Every structure is written in C-alpha cells, then in structure tokens.
A and B are shown apart, each in its own frame.
Chain A
Amino acid sequence: MRGLLAALKEITRYPSAMVGLFILAFILALAAYAVITIPYGEAIRLWRGGEATWRYNPRTAAPAWIDYLTPKKLLRTVILGPEDAQKEVKVLSERTRRLIFTYTLDYEADVFPSELAVVFKSQYEKKPPRVEVIWRTPDGREFSFGRQIPSGKVHWYTVSQDRDLIASLRGAPEEVLFQDPNAPEKTLKGIHTITIKAYVFEPEADLEAEVVVYGTVYGIAGTDHLRRDIWVALLWGAPIALAFGLGASFGITISSIVFAAIGAWFGGWVDAVVQRLTEIRMVIPTLPILIMVGLFYSKSIWVILAVLIGLNLIESTVKQYRAVFLQEKRTPYIEAARSYGARHLRIIFRYLIPRVIPWVIPSFVLAVPAYVFLEASLSVLGLGDPVLPTWGKLLSDAFSHGALYHGYYYWVLEPAFLLMLTGFGFTLIGYTLDKVFNPKLREI
C-alpha cells in the first residue's frame, strides 16, 4: 500500500498529471455539489417534472453568461409579481369589486422577449373573476387584450399564443409590444406600464396576477425545449458519469483479474474453461446486447451497468493478465508461500493479485472514459435512462430537437465539453500512472 502512496506522490511531479488531477478534482467537486444540493429524488423530480416545474423558465434559452460575450444586451426573464404591483380596489357593489394592478417594466434589452405570459391566481367559490390586460408602451401606445375569465385557481394566459391578439397586432405580441415603430427590428427602451383590471363577484374572492416576460438567456447553462434548467443535468451528469465509468471499469477489471488469476493458478481444465469463456466473450458484441436490453428489458442506467459488468466479467484483458500471472506463479516467493502452508485462495488473493495491482491501476484509470462515453452513446441512441439527467441524455435531447440546426450550440457544447474534460482528465492521469508504475516507459 505504501508503494501505491509513494507512486501517487510521484505523479505530482508530472505537470500533465497535475492537470489531470485538477480536472478530476473539478468533476468530483461538481458531483459532490450536485449530490449535496440536489438530492437524487429531487433531481429525478426536476427532470421528470415536465413543463409545470419549469413554467417560469424561458424555452431553449442560452446561458446567461452569453450576455457578457455579445455587444447586445440580452434579456433575463422578468417576473412581475403581486409585490411589484400597485393594487387599487374599488367596491362596485355588495358583491362586485374591481381590482386594478399596475406594473411597470423598465425594458433595456436589445432583443425581444422570447415569450409573454400572464398568470392569474384567483380565489372564488362559484363565479370566476373577469380580467383584462392593458399594455402601455414607453412611447405611449396602448394595447388592450386578454379579456377573459380565468378558469381554475391558477390560470396561465400565454400572451404569445393569443391568436386574436396576433391577428390584431399583425405579428407576434412579444415583438410588436416591444419594437420601435420606426425601426421594427429594434427594441424600444423605456418604461412599459401594464395594467390588469379584474372584476371579482364574491365577497371572499380575490385575485393576484403575475406578468412573465420570458428572457432569451437563463442561468448558468441555459434551458432546453422543455424549459428545464440544463444546469441540473450538467450537475447530475457528473456523479452519474463517474459512478458509471468507475463502476464499470472497477467491476470489469477486478472480475477479469480474479478470473485470470484463478485460471492461471489452477491451470488444467479450470484455465481451459476461463480461456474458452474469454474467447466466447470476445466474439459477443457488447453494444447490440446492451441495445436489446435497453429496448426489451429496462433502460435504467443501473441495469445497463450491471449487464455491462456481467457481460465483461471475463474480458479480453484476461489474456494479458493470465500471461502475467503465469509468470508470477513461478516466482520463488509463491513457492515459499506454499512451503509455509499457504492455501490456494490465499495465494491467489494475497500473493498473485497484489503483484499485478500497480500494473492494473493505469489500465483501470484509462478504461474509465470508454465507459463514460459508452453511457453517452447509449443515451444518444435513445437508450439512456429515462428518469435520470445525464450528459448523454442532454446530447440526445439536443440531437432530437435539432439544437445545432436552430443554433442552440450551448445545448450540445456544454455536455460535450464535460464529457471530453472527464475523458481527458482520466487519460492524463492514466498515462502518468503508467509511466510511474511501469518505469520502462519513463524517459531517462
């Protein structure tokens, strides 16, 4: 063990390994942060929640930091709630009251909002209230629309989809309301006044309204087609990628070593069986089997991981390990162990296997990215875990919604960057470990 620690200390001498360790530390920190701030169940809920969970988010918005990279001022979503409103109540009759909410919106962005919506939250017993929206632009034009009866406790009035309004404005409301009449491609900056008039018809009835001006940028990572915060998936992708990559690599490496050691130590028919199984395994393609499992049995990432390890219990590396063990088996210290009475299992686990550990660690580390990528590939093929947010899942969604075609580059680049970063980190560390543990490769 001390040898391992010394080796780990030695890798700090290599700058490339330091970069790798730094990257790994970053990914680990990301994973830890994800697991701590968003518990597993919460992550699934957020990802599976659909639009209801994310209604206040803009659709396919770029990350907010894009704002700093472009000369144009982009728009973050503005939500004007009851606390932003001036509320006026006028009692019209014993039962009827008129509520007027006045909101002001200081619009400075160079781009149009991506959407407009008004949320009515009303309380009533039998007779629903009536509402109307009056929108006054900075240059004094006034538009009145949205005359309706909100149904239910929470009623979403999506202004951008109001066909009558679109028809009367001859354009998308989120553009017409914000454009400079003299230069239609530009926004008009200044203060918009939004007035919501509501009539309630019961003494106990009440109403609140929120005006949602959807921005074009959102959060650290932007949003997807379902308004979901991509950041959640990027965060949760880290622990999942690590768990999948490390788990697969660890399970497969350990089981292959154990089988190789058992075969090499006992020799004879045991060895023959292990060898034949290895050869059979070598001609069984993993990917199609995983695809079939995904299609017909379960897409759960943990099932796929178990199947992957199960399929590779006896991996082709068994052959390499076996060659090493066959040599090690004849070393004098093994003979000495037999002479003082060590039995088969003790020799295999305490004498044979520890000998190859230094040799195996680099290949174990180097194999991790392959399994991380495998999970991503399965997701892109549509066989990703349906409930868990993963990097592969992001890519898959981006792919199926034509992210690149529509110019949503962030949607593809963010998970791709993290995937590559992970692979890069493990590779840097792996190759350095290889140099440390196999000094023959070391330059003099």
Chain B
Amino acid sequence: MEPLLRVEDLRLYFRTTKGIVQAVDGVSFELAPRTAMVVVGESGCGKSSLAKAILRLLPRNTHTYSGKIFLDGTDVMALNDEQFRREVRWKRISYVAQAAMNALNPVIKVGTQVAEPLFIHNNLTKSEAVNRVVEAFQLVGVPVDFVDRYPFELSGGMRQRVVIAMALITSPQLVILDEPTSALDVLTQANIMNSLKRIREELELTYILITHDISTSSELALDAMVMYAGQIVELGKAGHFFLEPLHPYSQKLMASVPTLREDKDLEFIPGQPPSLINPPTGCRFAPRCPKRFTTCEKEPPMVEYKDGRKIKCHLYV
C-alpha cells in the first residue's frame, strides 16, 4: 500500500543562547493511510517538535530544517512557504495543538473560530461555512446551538471538541493530535477518544497522536513510534509495542505504566533524558540502559526486525 506520509531524515534544530537544540534528529518513517500512529516518549524527547516539523510550523530561532516529506507521493518540502500554507497545512494535514483548547480566542464565538480555516483555505460563502461548521459540530459531538457561544461558556471537554472540529473542517487527510486529552477528566477523555475513533472510521482519516499517556493512547493506536532524545528508537504495530516492547527504553516505559486491573511491579527509569544540545554519542539511551554493553558507544543502526518492526538498538543487530 502506498504510504500516505513518508518522512526521510527529517531534522529540526533550534538555536538558543545555550547552543543548538537537536529537537528532531534524523527521523524517518512511513505512515499508511487510514492508520493511527501514536508517538510516545518522555517530555522533551522531540515529539511536539516532530509535529511542528511535519507541519512546517517553524519558530524564528530555527537553525536547521532539512529532510524529505512526501505526502501521497508528492514532495511537500519542495513547496515554498506560501504554497505549503495554501495547499498543505490545514488543507491536507491539520493539527490539534497541545492545550489548544485554552488558546481559543475568548472574544470570538466558537462557531466563527471553527469556520476560520474555511475562509482562509476554501473561499466559502458565509452560509456554506455555517453549514460546514454545523456538520463538524455534529461530527465531534458538540450541540449545534453552541456555535453562538463564547469559549468561556463551554466546559473543557466541549472546548477540546471544538478544537477538534476546527481541525476537521477542511476535510484533511491527516490529523496530528498533540496531547488531545491530557488535561481532561477520565470520562471526558474516554468520550473524546470514542469520538476520535468513530470520526476516523467514518471519514477514513489518518491520525498521528502525540502523547505521554500510553494507557489512553491504546484507545486509538494502530501503529506506535517511540521517540527518545530526538530520534526514533522503536517503530511498529501498536499491539507489538504494548505487549512485547523490544527496545530497552520501550520496555522500561511500558513497565512504568500503572495498570488498574492487574497487579504488576511498577518500575521507573532512573536518571534523566539527555540534553538535546549535546546528546551523548553512540546510543543516546545507553547511560540509563540496564542492558548496555560496549558496542553501545557506537551509534546503533535502525534494525529491521520481524513483523515490519524497526528497533534502533545493538541488541537486535
């Protein structure tokens, strides 16, 4: 199957007063259409920067932005910023930013805010736009009469749904969701996860879900990507990752996830993730890795394991 998104050697470095931060450092992966890939990792591992790199939402202090991104076979890195903005961002790939529900403009009605991308990208008339907003609200489960409300009149869960509606209104192929439920209560979280699942099936969408909450991500995940210190360390089917993680980091990560229904000995990962300014040479996880051996001083290759899994670790060479 032709991948919907193919990323090759994507790099995004930032310039700071302390040095160059290698937030995304040589990331390559493919994403099949109609899948949902979850990207997990500790905070500061480059998950959100990956989203920004794919969407080309670059801050002013960008130092390096390189690599290739193919969307449906077309090389979107070749487009200039204006073309990218007009033809790709929000039109084919949309984005639910972290804490976006708190970033809604407090003085504009939510209906108008949701319609905003339509005015920018689709040149619709007002009544057409209103119809689309109503459809989008029905899709994400926001009562239709909420279009005339202001953000502060909505609960957190409703605001999050509004933000999702905003990402869906331009009928994109790919939606990148950055921590879409992290600030919400358990029931609301379950509710929104249900809606996201249903919407993906109905609209044949593809998701990239960025989260640090592995339990909740299992509600949506078909594929899984584990990031550590700006790099991919494990890539494969979500089932494989949840049940039998291979990379020592993934194993530790899974062992730290508390479970409600079964007793297990919880573990934690000692130490801290490395600084992205001067990451350690060789395997970046080696300083914290219980299975470290001498070869780990060298940069591990991305090993193709069975079932299409990829692991960046010397243990599987």
A and B touch in the complex (CB under 8 A): yes
User: Bound state CA distance, A196 and B302, in angstroms?
Assistant: 110
Contacts of B295 in A (CB 8 A): none
Q: Does A330 lie at the interface of the complex (its beta carbon under 8 Å from any beta carbon of B)?
A: no
- In the complex, which residue of chain B has the Cβ closest to the Cβ of A439? B17
Near A by CB (< 8 A), chain B positions 49-77 give 60-61
Q: Which of B29-64 contact A (CB under 8 A)?
A: 60-61
Interface string of A406-442 (1 = CB under 8 A from B): 0000000000000000000000000000000000001
Q: Which residue of B lies closest to A10 (CB)?
A: B17
Residues of chain A with a CB closer than 8 A to B17's CB: 442, 444
**B89 interfacial by beta-carbon distance below 8 Å:** no
A14 to chain B, nearest CB (A): 12
Secondary structure of the B contact surface, majority rule: loop
Determine chain A's interface SS by DSSP, over half rule: loop
Shortest CB-to-CB span from A432 to chain B, Å, is: 15
Minimum Cβ distance to chain B for residue A69 (Å)? 46
CA A28 – CA B300 in complex, angstroms? 61
- Per the CB 8 Å criterion, the residue count for chain A at the interface is 2
Chain A residues whose CB sits within 8 angstroms of the CB of B16 once the complex forms = 444
Determine whether B288 belongs to the interface, using a CB cutoff of 8 Å to chain A. Answer: no
B15 within 8 Å of A (CB atoms): yes
> How far does the alpha carbon of A444 sit from the alpha carbon of B59 in the complex, in Å?
10
Nearest-neighbor residue (CB-CB) of B14 within chain A: A444
Determine how close the nearest CB of chain A comes to the CB of B71; give it in whole angstroms: 30
**CA of A405 to CA of B60, assembled, Å:** 55
> How many angstroms between the C-alpha atoms of A186 and B173 in the bound complex?
96
Q: When chains A and B are docked, how far (Å) is the Cα of A356 from the Cα of B61?
A: 28
CB distance from B150 to the nearest CB of A (A): 23
Q: How far is the CA of A131 from the CA of B60 in the complex (A)?
A: 88
User: A444 vs B60: C-alpha distance in the bound complex, in angstroms?
Assistant: 8
On chain B, the residues within 8 Å of A442 by CB distance are: 17
**What residues on B are CB-neighbors of A444 within 8 Å?**
15-17, 60-61
B61 nearest CB neighbor, chain A only? A444
Docked Cα-Cα span, A442 to B16, in Å, equals 11
Shortest beta-carbon distance, A171 to chain B, in Å?
A: 73
Contact with A along B204-241 (1 / 0, CB 8 A): 00000000000000000000000000000000000000
In the complex, what's the smallest C-beta–C-beta distance from B148 to chain A, in angstroms? 31
CA distance A341 to B61 in the complex (A): 45
Q: Whose C-beta in chain B lies nearest to the C-beta of A13?
A: B17
Measured CA separation A444–B61 after assembly (Å):
6
- Chain B, residues 1-40, CB within 8 Å of chain A (1/0): the string is 0000000000000011100000000000000000000000
Complex Cα spacing A442 to B61, Å: 12
| CB nearest to A442 among chain B residues | B17
Bound complex: CA of A444 vs CA of B58, how far in Å? Answer: 14
| Min distance, Cβ B276 to any Cβ of chain A, angstroms | 16
A442 to B60, CA, bound (A): 13
The 8 A CB mask of B94-112 against A (1 = contact, 0 = none) is 0000000000000000000
CB distance from B18 to the nearest CB of A (A): 11
Q: Which residue of A lies closest to B60 (CB)?
A: A444
- B15, B16, B17, B61 interface centre (most CB from chain A within 10 Å): B17
User: What's the least CB distance linking A59 to chain B, in Å?
Assistant: 58
CB distance from A6 to the nearest CB of B (A): 14
Nearest opposing residue in chain A for B15, CB measure? A444
Q: Which residue of B lies closest to A444 (CB)?
A: B61
Q: Which residues from chain A contact B60 at a C-beta distance below 8 Å?
A: 444
A444 to B17, CA, bound (A): 7
Q: How far in angstroms is the closest Cβ of chain B from A10?
A: 10
CB distance from A437 to the nearest CB of B (A): 15
Q: Which residue of A lies closest to B59 (CB)?
A: A444
Contacts of B61 in A (CB 8 A): 444
Shortest A354–chain B CB gap in Å is 25
8 Å CB interface, A51-108 against B: none
Cα distance, A92 to B17, chains bound together (Å): 94
Shortest C-beta distance, B127 to chain A (Å), equals 42
Shortest distance between the CB of A320 and any CB in chain B (Å):
22
CA–CA, A444 and B20, complex, Å:
12
* Interface, chain A (partner B; CB < 8 A): 442, 444
* Residue contacts A-B, CB under 8 angstroms, 6 given: A442-B17, A444-B15, A444-B16, A444-B17, A444-B60, A444-B61
**Residues of B in contact with A (beta carbons under 8 Å apart):** 15-17, 60-61
Q: Which 6 A-B pairs have the closest CB atoms?
A: A444-B61, A444-B15, A444-B60, A444-B16, A442-B17, A444-B17
